[in-house]
């Protein structure tokens, strides 16, 4: 098996992981959580979406980025054979 190749650094220039916190310390996460609850929804455990988004470039610059998909209880079929 081939190893996953990192296209961009996963650490900032100070050696800290380039991630967006998904807890109460992140005001953007809390806004998303409130909006979903207001719509009678529920956020599940955050997952890493392995496909490319522009979010990694924002995170590299220190800007938090959160991706969101409203498709709950739906199998992930992106780029599947019947796409």
Contact 32, 43 (CB under 8 A): yes
Domain residue limits at 18: 1-83
Number of structural domains (the chain) is 1
- pTM value is 0.63
Q: What is the pLDDT of residue 54?
A: 82
Q: How confident is the model at residue 24 (pLDDT cuts 50, 70, 90)?
A: very high
63 pLDDT more than 70: yes
| Separation between Cα atoms, residue 52 and residue 75, nearest integer Å | 19
Q: What is the pLDDT of residue 18?
A: 79
Q: What is the pLDDT of residue 31?
A: 93
Nearest-5° Cα angle at 57, 47 to 54: 60
Whole-number average pLDDT of the chain: 78
């Amino acid at each position: 098996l081939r190893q996953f190749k990192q296209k961009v650094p996963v650490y900032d220039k100070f050696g800290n992981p380039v991630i967006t916190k998904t807890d109460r310390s992140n005001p953007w996460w809390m806004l998303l959580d409130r909006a979903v609850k207001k719509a009678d929804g529920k956020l599940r455990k955050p997952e890493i979406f392995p496909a490319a988004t522009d979010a990694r470039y924002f995170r590299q610059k220190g800007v938090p980025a959160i991706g969101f998909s409203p498709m709950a209880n739906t199998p992930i079929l992106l780029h599947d054979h019947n796409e």
